[in-house]
Structure 1
Amino acid sequence: MTTALTNPPKHGHKSLLYSEVVSLDDLTAADIAVLGIPYGSAYSMEEVSNDQSNAPTAVRQASDRAVRSLERYDFDIGGPLLMNKDIRMVDCGDVIADPRDLSSSYRNAEAAVRKILSAGALPLIIGGDHGIPIPVLRAFDDQEGPITLVHVDAHLDWRDEVNGVPDGYSSPIRRISEMGHVKDIFQIGIRAQGSARQEEVDIAHAYGANIITAYELHDAGMDAILERIPAGGRYYLTVDADGMDPSVMPAVNGPALGGVTYHQARKLIHGLANKGRVVGMDIVEITPAKDINRLSSIAACRLFVNMIGATIKAGYFDR
């Protein structure tokens, strides 16, 4: 008997950007697979089910504000969403978690991503908090070649533990840095204060993390930052909503002024898709109750639109 790893998407738009709703057992010929991972590794009981767990549904609900219909021309990507190609884009729903076994969310998430990768599909992940990339990146351990992690965030996320929890939302980059299949790390948009202390900054530098503050980004421009990322790599992009400027994604618990603009994020996505191969992407830390006119969820959809369009135009799914 097979135990399900995901629940179908919820009410309203039941999928991201009109994609086909499927189970993880129906990924044949899938090119792009959407997966919601609502639950992280909580630091307290209050965080077990916080409002960020509603973000996968909120982002899906914004689909018709981000893309009015699939056949219309999109000037951000230079054509309709699927570029008039035979692309199978599916939505696998949300990873199931057991309230009596809180670690089940990460185990199920890793297993779900492994299924997506085994099917040869590009995973697009909607969190959930920023602990989510930990199980996602674990699933890449048997893929070919090292991964370059590209991280958009206001915060460093190199804590070893918080409240005895080693895999929560303050620790994803620390945990990912320990994975043998991850090599270079680029952290873009870092600014203000998060959980990092001097010791975490020193550890990140000792690892060789490329820490690019928001101010360096604004002064140098995204083209210059892209030039620093080695070409021909296999890139995983993780976007914390608070890495974006609050004018773009206001629905965050820790808004920090001076963040990454939509234009810069779009340029980063297209640049990565064209200089190597993007192997996955997530957007995390959206807190829907704090959104303004659904702007954050619409922006998340638009970032996914750019990734979908850029990878299709780059020939990722040509047969």
Structure 2
Amino acid sequence: MSDALTVAPRKEFHTLFNAPLVLELDTLSDLGAHACILGLPYGAPYSMEDVTNDQSNAPTAIRRSWQRALRAIERWDFDLGGPLLDGRDIRIFDCGDVPGDPYSPMKHYELAEAAARKIIESGAMIISLGGDHGVPIPVFRALSAIPELSEPITLVHVDAHLDWRDHVNGVHEGLSSPIRRASEMDHFGEIFQIGLRSAGSARPEEMEAALKYGANLIPDIELQDIGMKAVLDRIPAGGTYYLTVDADGMDPTIAPAIAGPAPGGVTYPQMRTLIQGLVEKGRVAGMDIVEITPKRDVNAITCVTAVRLICNLIGKAVRAGYFD
């Protein structure tokens, strides 16, 4: 023990995994980026109260919780059977948060798409931290830039809600519309929606639109009956996948920090099975975790869960040879 009377104040982690902060996104290719973190705090608001709701604080809250979820990069992770990066030279960068503009709320989406596109064009896996469930929409657009994309992307969506509204209050890119918007993009193909339960913004016409498109809807009651492995078996192998996770799609015992809680939901072991199974089936281009409301969290467990999902994705991708 040191005889010093005082020590430096406790360190607040600025980036996820204490990864290097890279704001010059044009340098990602030269840096050999394998995975990049991007914060997307601001959605398309339905009202003035939504402009800076507490979900805009989630990217910071998730980053601050990473050490509780992992302790340290070199520690043994029982979800992965070894340390996160498996002792390999894997380059993870945190690209910071896309800023908002109080005079032009939708400017955030323009910047988000541009930032996501640069990450994707570099060949790196993109991992986005929301924000509400509107913020993946610009990332969905940017996914058309995946190098050598030869077939439509399979979208895998975990959520309690359908998210097929064309608009709410005239807003077409808000939190109730991301899957509807994805369905309109030529670079998306099959859609799998897992954990649907209770009631949300969807009306019969949204259900009709989803079924007409051919979306594969797996309500939570069905998931609990058949298990996540059976759901994975329905997803075609050998594809390119993108995973969008609304925190309210998960069991509230692991994700209480949400605006719309509902009994039931996808459990942590089921999420682990889904993420690792997708990595094994094909190529996961990226994922997002959205709709976390930090002020409603309990012992930071929702943010810890978010980091654990990211650990499962990166750690499994490392072992699957994604970054070799």
Q: Work out whether the TM-score is over 0.5.
A: yes
Residue aligned with 1:267, SS? helix
Query: How far apart are 1:96 and its partner, in Å?
Result: 1.1
TM-score by length of 1: 0.95
Q: Deviations over 1:32-73 (max 9, x none)?
A: 000000001000011000000000000000011011111111
Aligned positions of 1:119-198 closer than 5 A: 119-143=122-146, 144=149, 145-198=151-204
Q: Following TM superposition, by how much is the alpha carbon of 1:258 offset from its aligned partner in structure 2, in angstroms?
A: 0.6
Counterpart in the other structure of 2:18: 18
Contact 2:121 2:145 in 1 (8 A): no
Of 206, 217, 226, which residue of structure 2 is paired with 1:220? Answer: 226
Question: How far does residue 25 in structure 1 lie from its aligned partner after superposition?
Answer: 3.5
Aligned ranges for residues 81-100 of structure 1 at < 5 Å?
81-100=84-103
Q: Classify the secondary structure of the residue corresponding to 1:46.
A: helix
Query: In structure 1, what is the Cα distance between the partners aligned to 2:87 and 2:27?
Result: 23
CA contact (8 A) 1:33 1:91 kept: yes
Contact 1:148 1:234 in 2 (8 A): yes
Q: Which residue of 1 aligns with 2:3?
A: none
RMSD: 0.9
Structure 1 residues 17-26 or 159-168, which shifts more? 17-26
TM-score with structure 2 setting the length: 0.94
Q: Does structure 1 residue 204 correspond to structure 2 residue 210?
A: yes
Equivalence for 1:30:
33
Structure 2 distance, partners of 1:75, 1:123, is 24
Partner Cα separation in structure 2 for residue 100 and residue 12 of structure 1: 31
* Number of residue equivalences: 308
- Distance (Å, rounded) in 1 between the aligned partners of 2:48 and 2:12: 30
Deviant stretches of 4+, over 2 Å: none
State how far apart, in whole Å, the 2-side matches of 1:45 and 1:111 are: 25
Residue 52 of structure 1 corresponds to 55
- In structure 1, the residue matched to 2:315 is 309
Amino acid at match of 2:88: K
Indicate the SS of the match to 2:145: coil
Provide structure 1 residue ranges, at least 5 long, that are not aligned to the other structure. Answer: 1-10
2:279 to 262, 273, 284: 273
Alpha-carbon contact 1:41-1:167 (below 8 Å) kept = yes
Q: What SS does the aligned partner of 1:185 have?
A: strand
> 1:246-305 deviations in whole A, cap 9, x for unaligned?
001000000011100000000000000000000010000000000000000000000000
Equivalent in 242, 248, 256 of residue 250 of structure 1 = 256
